[in-house]
């Protein structure tokens, strides 16, 4: 298990290098480091699966599938700086699709454990409401992306609901689940702010590089580690 913790930590550490290289516009190094981080969380997950005492089950398969979808999304989004600017919106949507599907798998997986704590449903609209408020006050400009991002925000809210719900169940698995939903929301929210931000947010791109990368890879690393307990 120590090796898995080291690999998961390395995944997050390399993601910090990815953000730094991106801020320095070293796009080839950024892409390579991003791929290394993504391969590391997949490696952690498959090693954890191989070391399971219990046989593989549907929850394990869903987790591995969601992590692989994350890898696919990372590859597509990592190509954004290699293509013409007018095509980056399409690549953003193309790369976001595996993440969206991966989040759905996470939600189905996590809600399959225990009973739903219905008071947690209050967190469901939090993210889309945040996006809509930022758009209303001119800090982001969503235009045609308002509906897709609001729907994505609902999925992020559902992720928080699902992780918090499992965390309240306790146990070895539950104690890890206070964090991934929040981390994913910070990461994806930062990505949207960096992409659609206006005014002062446009000046924070270098900060968003870190608030996208570090929470995302921390969340994926945590999910990868839990494969052994599913």
Over residues 198-212, the pLDDT tens digits come to: 888 888 989 999 999
Q: How confident is the model at residue 55 (pLDDT cuts 50, 70, 90)?
A: confident
Dig out the tokens for 92 from the structure.
């953003």
Element (H or E) spanning 154, and its range? helix 146-167
CA distance 99 to 148: 13
Band of residue 35 on the pLDDT scale cut at 50, 70, 90: very high
Interval 144-183: pLDDT, tens: 778 888 888 898 899 999 999 999 887 888 888 989 989 9
Q: What is the pTM of this model?
A: 0.90
Q: What are the φ/ψ torsions at residue 208 (nearest 5 degrees)?
A: -60, -30
Is 178:166 a contact under the CB 8 Å cutoff? Answer: no
First to last CA, the chain: 15
What integer is the mean pLDDT of 57-73?
A: 94
* Helix, coil or strand: residue 52: coil
Nearest to 152 by CA among 109, 211, 101: 101
């Amino acid at each position: 298990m120590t090796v898995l913790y080291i690999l998961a930590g390395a995944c997050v550490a390399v993601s910090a290098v990815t953000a730094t290289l991106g801020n320095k516009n070293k796009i080839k190094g950024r892409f390579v480091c991003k791929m290394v981080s993504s391969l590391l969380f997949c490696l952690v997950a498959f090693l954890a699966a191989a070391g399971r005492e219990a046989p593989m089950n549907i929850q394990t398969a869903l987790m591995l599938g969601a992590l692989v979808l994350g890898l696919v999304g990372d590859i597509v989004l990592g190509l954004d700086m290699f293509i013409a600017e007018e095509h980056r919106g399409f690549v953003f949507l193309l790369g976001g699709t595996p993440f969206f599907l991966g989040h759905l798998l996470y939600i189905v997986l996590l809600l399959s454990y225990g009973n739903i704590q219905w008071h947690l449903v209050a967190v469901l609209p939090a993210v889309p409401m945040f996006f809509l408020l930022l758009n209303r006050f001119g800090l982001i400009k969503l235009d045609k992306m308002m509906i897709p991002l609001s729907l994505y925000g609902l999925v992020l809210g559902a992720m928080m609901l699902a992780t918090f719900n499992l965390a309240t169940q306790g146990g070895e698995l539950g104690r890890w689940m206070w964090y991934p939903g929040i981390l994913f929301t910070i990461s994806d929210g930062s990505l949207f702010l960096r992409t659609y931000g206006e005014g002062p947010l446009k000046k924070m791109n270098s900060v968003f590089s870190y608030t996208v990368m570090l929470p995302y890879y921390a969340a994926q690393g945590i999910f990868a580690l839990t494969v052994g307990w599913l």
